[in-house]
Amino acid sequence: MAASTRRRRILSIAFPHLPTDRIARARWGRSWISDGRPEAPPLAVTDMVQNALRIAALEPGAEALGLNVGQTLADARAIRPDLDAVAMDAPADGALLAAVAGWCERYTPLTGLSAPDGLMLDVSGCAHLLGGEAGLLEDVTARLTAQGLNTRAALAGTPGAAWALARFGGPRIAASGEEAAALAPLPLAALRVAPPIAAGLARVGLRTVGCIADLPRAPLARRFGAGLLTRLDQALGRAEEAISPLRPAPDLAAERRFFDPISHQDDIARATALLAEALAPLLEARGLGARRLELRLFRVDGAVERLAVSAARPLRDPGRIAGLFRDRVAGLRQEIEAGFGFDLVKLAVLESERFGGVQGDMIAGGRAEDGFQALVDRLGARLGPERVRGFAGAETHIPERAFGTLPLGRLRPGTPATGPAAGQPVPPLTRPLWLLARPEPLEALAEVPDGPPLRFRWRRTGYEVARSEGPERIACEWWRDGRGAMTRDYFRVEAREGHRFWMFRHGLYARETVRPRWYMHGVFA
C-alpha cells in the first residue's frame, strides 16, 4: 500500500494551571479570566509528597509572591499566611480535562488526552476552516480562555514536537520538517524523558535537544537507554506516534456553524433536518445506511449536549432521521439546556451498514416490515434504545438459557425460518409451548435407575402418567455452574387427563447423586 502523502498537523494544548482553574471556575464562574479575578487570597492546590504536604499547583502570578510548586505548605504559609490551600482532586481534574476534550471535537474528531494536563488534536486538513493555522490557534486559545482556562498551545508536524513547544516555549507554529530547528534550543525535558535521564545528560554537558540530535546513537542508547532515542525520533518525525482518540471517529459527519447562536427547539430541529439532508448524498455515494447517529450541540460556554438515536435497519432518508431526533427530544424529561445558545451543531454517523435499495410497490405502498421498523425506531428514540427489546437466541443448550432479550437495534436480520413444504406433514413439537421461567420442583415416582415417571405431584395436584417418551439427555454446563452441576434427563409425558408436560430428572442415579430430584419445565397443551 502506498504511503499517505497527507501532511500531518498536530495541535497540542497544555493547561499549566488546570487544578486551580477548576476551583476558580467553580467559585467565580467560567468567565473569571475575562471579567477579572476577584480580590481574594492566592490559591494553591496541595498534595502529600514525600511524607509532607506540598504545593502541587498554583494559580497564575503566585510565583511572583514567592510561592513555588514543590514547596511545603508550612513554608508557603510562612510567606503568605492568607494562602488559600485546597487538597488535590485528581479525578475532578481528569473529568474536566475529558469534558474539554469533548468540546474540542468541534475542531476534529481525532482528539486525545495527554494526561495529566493536556490534549492532542490531529487537525490535519482542518485549519482552512478557520483561516489557516494561526486562525485555528487563536480561536482555540480565545475560546478556552473565555471558559476560564489558562492555556498554552502549539502546532507542529509531530505530537512530540507540538507537546514540547506548548510547554517549553519556542514558535507556536512549526512547519512540517522544521521540528529539529524549533526544538534545538529547548531543554531535554521537552522530549518527555524521565527526569533522571535528563539529569544524567546534563551532568555530561548535554542540556538541550540540539546537543543530542546529531550525536552517534549507539553510545546514547547504551548509556541512557533506547527510550531516549525513541522520544527523539518521535519528536523529529523519524518514528510514528499515534494519537488515541477519546471517542471513535464517526463514519461520516455534517456540521453547521451559527454566527448568532441558536437556542429554541424549533431552530435545533431545522438545523438537524438540514444536516440530515447533507448526510444523505454522502451515505448514498458510499452505498451505506446509518444505524446509529449522534447530534452534538456545542454551547457557547463550552458545554456539549449529545443526543443519540439508533435505527433497527440502515436508513438514510433525511425525513426519518430528523423524525427520530424529534422523537428523541420529545422523550427527554426536560428541555435541552441551551445556556447562551449553540454556535455549532454536528450530526455524526457512529455506525453504518451496507444499504441495499429495495424496489417499492407503486400500488400497495410501503411494506409491512418497513412500518414495523419505523415503529421500533420511534419507540427507541422516545424511550431509549435499550428499552425496546426483542428475543434472541443464546449459545447454550440449557433450555431456560437458550434465549434472552436484546435491544432491537442490535439484532441483525437472520435467515428466515422455513416451514415444511406443501403437502408434507408438520414435524412433532419437541419443546413445550409454555416454558417455565425456572424449573419447578415436583414429587415423582419412577423406576430406578433411569426409568420414566409413573406418577407425580405438581402444584398440589396429582397426575397418573398414561404414556411417556424419553429420556432426552442434556449435559450440564460445568464451566458456568461449577463442578457440582448435574445432567438432566428430559421426558415428554401425557397424564390420563390428557395434559402433556415436559419434565426432567436432575442427576444420574449412582453416578452423580443417590437421590435424583424431579422438576417441571414446561406444558405442551
pLDDT of res. 409: 67
- Check residue 179 and give its pLDDT: 94
Domain that holds residue 46: 10-151
Q: Is residue 420 part of a domain?
A: no
Contact 295, 270 (CB under 8 A): no
Residue 481 placed within a domain: yes
**In this structure, are 25 and 112 located in the same domain?**
yes
Note whether residue 473 is domain-resident. Answer: yes
Cell triple for 154:
502549539
Which residue, 400, 417, 398, 285, is CA-closest to 349? 285
Whether residues 21 and 119 share a domain: the answer is: yes
Q: Is residue 424 part of a domain?
A: no
What's the pLDDT score for residue 413?
55
Same domain? For 17 and 141 the reply is yes
Instruction: Tell me, yes or no, whether 265 and 338 share the same domain.
Output: yes
Domain termination residue (choose one: 151, 185, 211): 151
In a domain, 384, yes or no: no
Residue 366 lies in a domain: no
CATH number at residue 114: 3.40.1170.60
Say if residue 425 is preceded by a cis peptide, omega within 30 of 0. Answer: no
CA angle 262–268–271, rounded 5-degree value: 100
Same domain, 63 and 176: no
| Boundary of a domain, candidates 196, 230, 248 | 248
Q: What is the mean pLDDT of each run of 10 residues along the chain (525 residues)?
A: 63 96 95 92 94 94 92 94 95 96 94 94 92 95 95 96 95 93 95 94 94 93 94 94 92 94 92 95 93 94 91 89 90 82 95 73 52 78 80 85 78 51 66 91 91 94 94 91 91 94 94 93 90
Verify that 146 and 184 share a domain, yes or no.
no
> Is there a single domain that holds both residue 220 and residue 125?
no
Look up the CATH number of the domain holding residue 244. 1.10.150.20
Helix, strand or coil for residue 495?
strand
User: Cell match 530547528: residue?
Assistant: 181
Judgement on whether residues 141 and 168 belong to the same structural domain of the protein? no
Q: Parallel, antiparallel, or unpaired for β 152-156 and 111-114?
A: unpaired
Residues near 248 by Cβ (< 8 Å), separated by ≥ 6? 350
Domain end among 360, 381, 411: 360
Question: Same domain for 224 and 292?
Answer: no
Residues 167 and 235 in one domain: yes
Determine phi and psi for 406, rounding to 5 degrees: -135, 155
pLDDT value at residue 421: 55
Q: Residue 2 has what pLDDT?
A: 39
Same domain flag for 453 and 511: yes
Q: Which pLDDT belongs to residue 295? A: 95
CATH value at residue 299? 3.30.1490.100
- Considering its fold, how many domains does the chain have in total? 4
pTM of structure: 0.75
Residue identified by cell 476558580 is 24
Q: Is residue 112 part of a domain?
A: yes
Answer yes or no: do 215 and 278 share one domain. no
What is the sign, positive or negative, of the torsion defined by CA atoms of 26, 28, 31, 37? negative
Asked if residue 349 is part of any domain, the answer here is: yes
